[in-house]
C-alpha cells in the first residue's frame, strides 16, 4: 500500500471504538463502522472489475461517503476525478469523451441521464450509512482491471484548477504528493487527535479534500461533514460540537459579519482562511467583533493544498505566512531570482508540488519550479506577501495597478455588499479601472453612491488607481468556492460597455 492508504487504514483500526466522523444528520460513526463501510465499497469495486489505473468520476456533495469512497478507490489503485456535483450531464459527457471513465459515482437526485445511460449501466445502490444513497454507473463492456495496492508515485487524484483568470488546468496528484500536502497541514496547524473540524468547503476542491478531510484523518482528529456552508447554523455547530478549527474563505467571513449570530462557549483555536485574498478591512472587522484567531494562508491545487501559512504562535497581518515545507523563489520577468522585498512571480517546488500538468504546459515550469502566476514578495523575516495574480494586474498607461488595493479602499462604504475591480480595454491607456459593485439595497439611481465612491477614491487612491467606471450588478461571477472569476467578469463588463 502507499503511505497515504496505509495511514488512512491505520486511523480506522486504531480508533475502532471512537467516533471519528459525523454526517449531516449529526450521526456519529466509529472507526470500526467506517472500516466496514469502506470495505463494502472496496469489495464492490473489485467485483465490478474496477482496479489499477481505472479513472472513476466522483460527483457528490460533502459526506462521510465521499471520504470512504475516495479511500476505497485509492486502495485498489484507481484514480479519482472529483468534480462539482452541480455539473450537468452535458458537461459530464464532455469530460467522459476525454477520460473514458470506468465508473461514475453521482448524487441520488440526478435523473434523466440520456447520453450517459447509453455508455454506462446504472447499478443497484449500496447502503451508505445514514446518508443519501449514491448512484453508481459502471461502463458497458468495461475491461476488468485487477485490484493492485498503489505505490507512492502512482496517480491518485485528478482535479481542475479554479480557472479564475483563464481556462482551468488539469492537475494530477500522486499518493505521495497528497500525503505530503496533508502532513504539511498537520505540522503547521499542530493538529492532534483532540481536534475537531467542520467540513463546509466543497470536497471536490483541494481545500476540503486534503486540508480539512485528509489532514484531520491522518492526525486522528474528528470530522463533521456538512453538505455546504450554512450561515444560520455555523456558530451553533461551532459551539455545540466544540469545533477547534475550520478552513474557510474570506467570502464566508464576509457573510458572517453581515449576520447577527454570535458564537457561545466556543473552543476554536483558530479559523484558517484561504482560496482568495483576505482584505485587511475584513480582517479588522472580524477581529473586533469575534476575537477569534484568524490565520491567513496561501495554497493551490498544484501544491496539494498549502504553500504558506501564518504560524499559529506568530501570525503577521497582511501576509500569508511562512513556507518551511516548500522551496519558494520570487522571479522577475526573465525568471531570475529577486532580492528580499522585491515583487515578482512566485515559483515553488517541493514534495507536494506537481512536476507537470496532465496537459503538457512546459511554459508553466522553470528549472524544476512551478510558476504559479501569482505575484508576491518575501520580507526579511521570510514571510510571504501576496501582490495579486499576474493576469489580474491592471496595466494602465504602463503602470501596474493592483485591484486588491482599490477593493480594500472602497469596500468600507456601507452601501456595498460586494465589490470586484477589473481592467477594461482603453484606446489611450491600454487598460483602465472598472469597479463592479453589488449593493446591499437595489436602486435605479446610483448618482449619490458614485459621488461617495469618487470622493473616497480621490482621497485615498493614487490617480492611476481611481476607477473610471462604476458598474452596479446583482451578483459577481464566482466558482464553487465563492472565488470571484475575474477573467469572466472582465469579459462581461467589456461586452456591456461595448453594447452600451
CATH fold of 3-172 reads Rossmann fold (3.40.50)
The pLDDT value recorded for residue 167 is: 63
What's the pTM? 0.85
Quote the CA–CA distance of 54 and 145 in Å, as a whole number. Answer: 7
The pLDDT value recorded for residue 353 is: 97
Answer whether 3-172 and 229-389 agree in fold: yes
pLDDT per residue as tens, the chain (500 positions): 899 999 999 999 999 999 999 999 999 999 999 999 999 999 999 999 999 999 999 999 999 999 999 999 999 999 999 998 888 888 888 888 889 999 999 987 776 678 888 899 988 777 678 888 888 999 998 888 888 899 999 999 999 886 544 567 899 999 999 999 999 999 999 999 999 999 999 999 999 999 999 999 999 999 999 999 999 999 999 999 999 999 998 889 988 998 999 888 899 999 999 877 788 888 999 999 999 999 999 999 999 999 999 999 999 998 999 998 999 999 998 999 999 999 999 999 999 999 999 988 889 999 999 999 899 999 999 999 988 777 777 878 767 788 888 998 999 899 999 999 998 888 777 788 999 999 998 888 999 999 999 999 998 888 889 999 999 999 999 877 778 888 888 888 888 887 76
The pLDDT value recorded for residue 87 is: 82
Q: What is the DSSP string of 293-357?
A: -EEEEEEEGGGTEEEEE--TTS--TTS--B-TTSEEEEE-TTSPBPPTT--EEEEEESTTS-SS-
Q: What is the dihedral of CA 192, 195, 200, 204, to 10 degrees?
A: 20
The pLDDT value recorded for residue 398 is: 66
* Closest of 50, 63, 227 to residue 137, by C-alpha: 50
The values of phi and psi at residue 410, to 5°, are -85, -20
C-alpha distances out from residue 326 to 110, 434, 482, Å: 41, 36, 26
C-alpha distances out from residue 429 to 333, 392, 397, Å: 22, 16, 4
Asked if 249 contacts 276 with a C-beta cutoff of 8 angstroms, the reply is yes
Domain 394-499 has CATH 3.40.50.300: no
The pLDDT value recorded for residue 86 is: 83
Residue owning grid cell 474570506: 250
Asked if 446 contacts 472 with a C-beta cutoff of 8 angstroms, the reply is yes
Domain 229-389 has CATH 3.40.50.9100: no
Question: Residue 159: in which H helix or E strand, if any?
Answer: strand 155-160
Q: Where are the domains of the chain?
A: 3-172, 229-389, 394-499
> Which residues 6+ apart lie within 8 Å of 376 measured at CB?
330, 343, 344, 346, 384, 385, 386, 387
Amino acid at each position: 500500500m502507499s503511505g497515504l492508504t496505509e495511514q488512512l487504514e491505520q486511523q480506522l483500526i486504531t480508533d475502532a471504538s471512537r467516533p471519528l466522523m459525523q454526517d449531516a444528520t449529526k450521526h456519529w460513526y466509529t472507526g470500526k463502522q467506517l472500516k466496514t463501510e469502506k470495505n463494502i465499497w472496496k469489495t464492490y469495486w473489485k467485483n465490478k472489475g474496477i482496479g489499477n489505473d481505472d479513472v472513476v468520476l466522483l460527483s457528490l456533495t460533502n459526506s462521510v461517503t465521499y471520504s470512504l469512497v475516495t479511500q476505497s478507490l485509492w486502495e485498489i489503485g484507481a484514480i479519482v476525478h472529483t468534480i462539482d456535483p452541480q455539473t450537468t450531464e452535458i458537461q459530464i459527457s464532455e469530460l467522459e469523451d476525454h477520460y473514458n471513465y470506468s465508473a461514475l459515482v453521482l448524487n441520488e437526485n440526478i435523473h434523466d441521464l440520456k447520453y450517459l445511460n447509453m455508455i454506462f449501466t446504472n447499478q443497484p445502490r449500496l447502503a451508505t450509512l445514514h446518508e443519501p444513497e449514491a448512484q453508481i454507473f459502471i461502463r458497458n463492456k468495461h475491461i476488468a482491471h485487477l485490484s493492485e495496492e498503489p505505490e507512492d508515485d502512482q496517480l491518485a487524484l485528478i482535479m481542475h484548477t479554479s480557472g479564475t483568470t483563464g481556462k482551468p488546468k488539469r492537475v494530477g496528484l500522486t499518493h505521495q504528493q497528497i500525503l505530503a500536502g496533508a502532513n504539511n497541514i498537520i505540522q503547521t496547524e499542530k493538529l492532534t487527535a483532540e481536534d475537531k473540524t467542520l467540513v463546509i468547503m466543497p470536497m471536490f476542491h483541494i481545500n476540503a479534500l486534503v486540508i480539512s478531510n485528509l489532514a484531520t484523518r491522518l492526525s486522528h482528529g474528528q470530522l463533521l461533514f456538512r453538505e455546504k456552508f450554512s450561515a444560520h447554523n455555523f456558530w451553533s455547530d461551532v459551539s455545540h460540537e466544540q469545533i477547534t478549527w475550520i478552513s474557510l474563505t474570506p467570502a464566508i467571513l464576509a457573510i458572517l459579519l453581515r449576520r447577527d449570530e454570535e458564537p457561545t462557549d466556543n473552543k476554536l483555536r483558530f479559523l484558517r482562511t484561504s482560496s482568495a485574498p483576505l482584505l485587511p478591512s475584513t480582517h479588522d472587522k472580524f477581529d473586533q467583533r469575534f476575537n477569534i484567531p484568524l490565520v491567513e494562508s496561501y495554497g493551490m491545487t498544484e501544491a496539494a493544498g498549502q504553500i504558506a501559512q501564518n504560524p499559529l504562535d506568530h501570525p503577521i497581518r497582511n501576509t500569508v505566512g511562512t513556507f518551511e515545507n516548500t522551496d519558494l523563489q520570487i522571479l522577475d520577468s526573465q525568471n531570475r531570482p529577486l532580492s528580499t522585498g522585491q515583487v515578482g512571480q512566485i515559483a515553488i517546488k517541493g514534495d507536494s508540488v506537481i512536476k507537470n500538468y496532465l496537459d503538457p504546459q512546459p511554459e508553466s515550469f522553470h528549472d524544476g519550479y512551478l510558476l504559479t502566476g501569482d505575484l508576491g514578495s518575501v520580507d526579511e523575516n521570510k514571510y510571504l506577501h501576496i501582490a495579486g495574480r499576474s493576469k489580474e494586474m491592471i496595466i494602465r498607461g504602463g503602470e501596474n495597478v493592483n485591484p486588491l488595493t482599490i477593493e480594500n479602499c472602497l469596500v468600507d462604504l456601507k452601501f456595498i455588499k460586494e465589490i470586484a475591480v477589473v481592467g477594461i480595454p482603453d484606446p489611450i491607456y491600454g487598460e483602465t479601472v472598472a469597479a463592479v459593485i453589488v449593493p446591499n439595497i437595489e436602486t435605479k439611481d446610483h448618482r449619490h453612491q458614485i459621488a461617495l465612491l469618487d470622493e473616497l477614491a480621490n482621497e485615498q487612491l493614487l490617480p492611476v488607481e481611481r476607477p473610471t467606471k462604476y458598474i452596479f450588478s446583482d451578483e459577481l461571477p464566482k466558482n464553487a468556492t465563492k472565488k470571484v472569476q475575474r477573467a469572466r467578469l472582465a469579459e462581461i463588463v467589456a461586452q456591456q460597455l461595448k453594447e452600451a
